[in-house]
A and B are shown apart, each in its own frame.
Chain A
Amino acid sequence: MIQPVADTRPKGLIETETLEVSIGPQHPSTHGVFRMNATLDGETVVALKPVMGYLHRNHEQLAEQMTWLGSMPYTDRLDYFNSMANNWAYALSVEKLAGIKVPERAEYIRVIMTELTRLLNHICLVGFLLQDLGAWGTPLLYAFREREKILDLFETVSGSRMMCNYFRFGGVRVDLDDKSLALAREITSKFPKFLDEFEKLLSGNEVLLARTQRVGILPKELAINASITGPMARASGVEYDIRKVDKYGLYGTLDFRVPLGEVGDVYDRYYVRVLEMRESVKILNQVLRDVPAGPFVAPEVKLRNFKVPAGDGYGRIETPKGELGFYLVSDTQGKLPYRYHVRPPSFINLTILEDMCLGHKVADVVVILGSVDIVLGEVDR
């Protein structure tokens, strides 16, 4: 750990004042159009207010004006790295309200797609984090090389690389053929070797350790109290994974562990994600072993004139960024959602950005924000 040189000059001789700096919204380190109003004392952050809404398009109101299925493609645009996971969260919430049973094969396909999404999200996050640290190009290049393989599979299956629009109420849109399954197995079998290489490059790297250890510490109690979810919370030692707690889909029957951090600093957030990728590979190996035959979508679900009984409900899943939930209200007609609310993990994980940044240098703010893993499509909606 690098210690700052102690300031031995007598105090009070030079008059100083704090400086307000607006970081963003057009700045590469903000991962989009996010802005931070930082108050600096020298180079140290003494206050930091997040400003958001530059990408606000009232996603919720759009969804309230179209049919239930009509907003499925819009969920792709929330967190455009994880369209498959967003699809699942929305499909699961509607299935919860309407009481739709999902066939076994569809459950397998859903787990395969979402765990592949987790791999690609975490690998990109590590790449971007290193980019923020100043390691221009190299880690991100390798991350994107692996991501491309997974995106190729998504394109084969769903027809689109990023905006997949693949899930349907009661299953998925098209079946997964044997060729795609073989491709998924190949990606899964080669991924650990890549991850070993990647870790060799990064995990013990002196620059990475110096810049990330004991930086941006988030205490466990604050993480729970501030509704922080996902790898962010688990890096602070909060043992809470919705895959384990709610046991939705197949996760109740699968064998995997939940990695936890000890300190809750940026390095823990990095390393928890690396370990989660290893667990995702473990999950993928289990589900890819034998995918059962059968229908890939519940046959009783009608695509046209789909209706949901009156009432409300909240469904949530563990996406790579945290808890993505949908609070939906259906009125007596049931054709359109009366209320459609997204509980976005990136948005709520920003609540404690100021707490983590206080007392650190401006350069650390960039790293801390990078470790939160935000996507502005989801923050601003």
Chain B
Amino acid sequence: MEAIETIRDAVVEAVSGAQVEIIPSTPAAAQPALLVDREHVFAVAQLFKEDARWQMDFCSCVTAVDYLPKDDKPGHIEVVYHLYSVARKQGPVVLKVRAPRELEQCRVPSLTPLWRGCEFQEREAYDLYGVTFAGHPDLRRILMWDEFTDFPMRKDYEPPADYEWEPTPHDSTLDRAKVAGGVVPPTALEEKKK
């Protein structure tokens, strides 16, 4: 694989208007990523897939990371794609795309039309982080149950205190206590026993 700067320049040249920024990894891992703006990420991914220089035919890993607002920087959700080439046995090219944390604006284009392997992984990112992948053929929850309303992997998620709540006979007693002002009145059966 070429140096990341060469790849970046080639991408900027091929996809007009794309804003591409290099994000370093840890020094030892040496897997610098390309941060692409949301409007052009699909075109950039398509370039990586179809261009003979890279032939990234295999999208290995898709995930999201939640970065909370820090100091005066706004937070964002970052979706990370790891692309490899089976044909040329090279990689990875790490694509990153950022979206605001607010649910309505947390939208990125889906890469499932390019790589079928993104299908379940993007569903998982939607399920756990609330990222809406525009153009995904079947965006539903996959790990959490369908009635669940929150996104549990977000850093500011707080599990409800009563998430295992289910109605018990005890509840009716509590309700009656509430009506009677804190004192549990005896039931009809208890009255009879007296």
CA distance A314 to B31 in the complex (A): 8
Question: Any chain B CB within 8 A of the CB of A173?
Answer: no
**A5 CA / B153 CA spacing, docked (Å):** 52
Contact indicator B26/A97 (Cβ below 8 Å) = yes
| A143 interfacial by beta-carbon distance below 8 Å | no
Known: A224-B86, A339-B65, A341-B63. A313 touches B58 (CB 8 A): no
| One of A311, A338, A347, A348 near B24 (C-beta < 8 A) | A311
Q: Is B18 an interface residue (CB 8 A)?
A: no
Main secondary structure of the interface of A (DSSP, over half): mixed
Expressed in whole angstroms, the minimum distance between the Cβ of A230 and any Cβ of chain B is 12
B142 lies within 8 A of chain A by Cβ: yes
Task: Identify A53's interface contact among B25, B61, B94, B145, CB under 8 A.
Answer: B145
* Cα–Cα distance between A380 and B121 once the two chains are bound (Å): 12
Q: Given A61-B152, A325-B60, A343-B60 in contact, is the A352-B116 Cβ separation under 8 Å?
A: yes
Q: In whole angstroms, how far apart are the Cα atoms of A237 and B59 in the complex?
A: 18
**Of residues 127 to 164 in B, which have CB atoms within 8 Å of A's CB atoms?**
128, 141-145, 152-153
A347 to B115, CA, bound (A): 16
In the assembled complex, B10 has its CB within 8 A of some CB on chain A: no
Asked if B61 and A343 sit within 8 Å, CB to CB, the answer is yes
Q: Given A60-B153, A313-B29, A351-B119, verify A227-B92 contact (CB < 8 Å).
A: no
Q: How far is the CA of A245 from the CA of B92 in the complex (A)?
A: 12
Q: A53-B145, A224-B57, A314-B94 are in contact. Are A97 and B116 (CB under 8 A)?
A: no
Instruction: Say whether A347 contacts B28, CB under 8 Å.
Output: no
Contacts of A338 on B, CB cut-off 8 Å?
Answer: 65
Q: Which residues of A contact B141 (CB under 8 A)?
A: 53
Q: Mark A73-107, 1 if CB is under 8 A from B, else 0.
A: 00000000000000000000000111100000000
B92, A314: Cβ atoms closer than 8 Å? yes
Q: For residue A351, which residues in chain B have a CB less than 8 angstroms away from its CB?
A: 116-117, 119-120
In the bound complex, what is the Cα–Cα distance between A348 and B26 (angstroms)?
A: 27
Q: Which residue of chain B has its CB nearest to the CB of A56?
A: B143
Report whether B27 and A228 are in contact in the complex, using a CB–CB cutoff of 8 Å: no
Interface string of A314-340 (1 = CB under 8 A from B): 111000000101010110000000110
**In the assembled complex, which residues on chain B have CB atoms less than 8 Å from the CB atom of A60?**
128, 153
Residue of A52, A225, A310, A347 near B116 (CB, 8 A) is A225
**Interface size of A by Cβ–Cβ distance < 8 Å?**
46
Check B89 for interface membership: any CB of A closer than 8 A: yes
Smallest CB–CB gap between A12 and chain B, Å?
Answer: 32
Q: Are B153 and A227 in contact (CB under 8 A)?
A: no
Q: How far is the CA of A312 from the CA of B64 in the complex (A)?
A: 13
Q: Does A240 contact B (CB under 8 A)?
A: yes
**Is B43 interfacial (CB 8 A cutoff)?**
no
The minimal Cβ–Cβ distance linking B34 to chain A, given in whole angstroms, is: 13
30 residue pairs of the A-B complex, CB under 8 angstroms, read: A53-B142, A61-B152, A97-B26, A98-B26, A99-B26, A99-B29, A224-B58, A227-B60, A227-B118, A238-B86, A245-B89, A311-B24, A311-B27, A311-B29, A312-B26, A312-B31, A314-B61, A314-B82, A314-B92, A316-B60, A316-B61, A325-B60, A329-B65, A339-B65, A339-B66, A347-B120, A348-B121, A351-B117, A351-B119, A351-B120
Which 9 A-B pairs rank lowest in CB-CB distance, beginning with the nearest? A227-B117, A99-B28, A313-B29, A311-B26, A226-B116, A53-B143, A343-B61, A341-B63, A56-B143
Query: Given A96-B28, A343-B60, list of 17 further CB < 8 A pairs?
Result: A53-B145, A58-B153, A60-B128, A222-B116, A225-B57, A225-B115, A227-B116, A309-B27, A312-B33, A313-B25, A313-B29, A314-B61, A314-B92, A327-B61, A343-B82, A351-B117, A351-B119
Interface residues of A (CB under 8 A from B): 52-53, 56, 58, 60-61, 96-99, 222, 224-229, 238-240, 245, 308-316, 323, 325, 327, 329-330, 338-339, 341, 343, 347-348, 350-352, 380-381
